[in-house]
């Protein structure tokens, strides 16, 4: 049975999320998730150095086969977009430096892959991941950046040939009928 590890990244300049999935055959399980917290660092270039060092150390520790990274969404604040793009670029550079292939996904695509709806909240994404990966409450991070990163990894897992991904649904009713275990009745 084939195994691989996917690292997911949710870029940020204050807090950057990461999540790692182990894929065995067509089953995913969480290895780790967490954040790189840079809120106490004031120099933006030091933050970028911290991102590179920490992503590199995670790559050395967990040896991912691939990286899935969330693409920056387009906002109104150009300065915020520039900072976020730099943070994403440094994470990508760390992966390239270590020979890790990179796959980029729009936030809408990630939310759609996890919850079935592109406008899902961060809490809905975290809740669905908890069910999909059979995570306990104590496994969940207090930072949604970590679960967003895990969602990027899971999205890539689904895009990379998971048989569930190839199923097409005609309607929400069709989805519910075929996915009773993924639907919450609360």
pLDDT tens, position by position, 24-76: 988 999 999 999 999 999 999 999 999 999 999 999 999 999 999 999 876 77
Longest dimension (CA), the chain: 52
Task: Confirm if 16 and 51 have CB atoms less than 8 A apart.
Answer: yes
Q: Name the active-site residue from 10, 53, 66, 104.
A: 10
Q: Name the active-site residue from 43, 145, 148, 174.
A: 145
d(CA 3, CA 92): 23
State the chain's mean pLDDT as an integer. Answer: 89
Take residue 48 and report the two structure tokens written for it: 């970028």
Does 70 qualify as catalytic in the annotation?
Answer: yes
Our CA dihedral for 109, 185, 138, 123, rounded to 10 degrees, sits at 40
Helix or strand run (H / E) with residue 62: helix 44-62
> What mean pLDDT comes out for the span 134-138?
92
Task: Confirm if 129 and 135 have CB atoms less than 8 A apart.
Answer: yes
The length of the chain is 186
Tell whether the model's pLDDT for residue 103 goes beyond 60. yes
Q: Name the active-site residue from 3, 53, 70, 137.
A: 70
Tell whether the model's pLDDT for residue 14 goes beyond 50. yes
Does 10 qualify as catalytic in the annotation?
Answer: yes
> What mean pLDDT comes out for the span 115-138?
93
Pairing of strands 66-70, 3-10: parallel
Tell whether the model's pLDDT for residue 165 goes beyond 50. no
> What mean pLDDT comes out for the span 147-166?
80
Does 3 qualify as catalytic in the annotation?
Answer: no
Tell whether the model's pLDDT for residue 15 goes beyond 90. yes
Task: Confirm if 8 and 153 have CB atoms less than 8 A apart.
Answer: yes
Give the residue with greater pLDDT, 25 vs 181.
25
């Amino acid at each position: 049975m084939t195994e691989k590890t996917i690292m997911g990244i949710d870029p940020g300049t204050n807090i950057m999320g990461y999540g790692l999935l182990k894929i065995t055959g067509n089953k995913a399980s969480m290895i780790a998730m967490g954040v790189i917290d840079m809120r106490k660092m004031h120099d933006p270039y030091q933050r970028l150095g911290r991102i590179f060092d920490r992503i590199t150390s995670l790559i050395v520790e967990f040896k991912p086969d691939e990286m899935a990274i969330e693409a920056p969404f387009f906002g109104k604040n150009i300065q915020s977009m520039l900072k976020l793009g730099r943070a994403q670029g440094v994470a990508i550079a760390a992966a390239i430096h270590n020979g890790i292939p990179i796959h980029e996904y729009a936030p809408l695509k990630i939310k759609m892959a996890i919850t079935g709806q592109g406008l899902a909240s961060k809490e809905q994404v975290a809740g669905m991941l908890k069910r999909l990966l059979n995570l306990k409450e104590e496994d969940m991070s207090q930072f949604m950046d970590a679960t967003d990163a895990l969602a990027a990894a899971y999205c890539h897992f689904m895009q990379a040939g998971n048989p569930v991904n190839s199923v097409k649904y005609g309607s929400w009713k069709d989805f519910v009928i075929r996915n009773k275990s993924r639907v919450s009745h609360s």
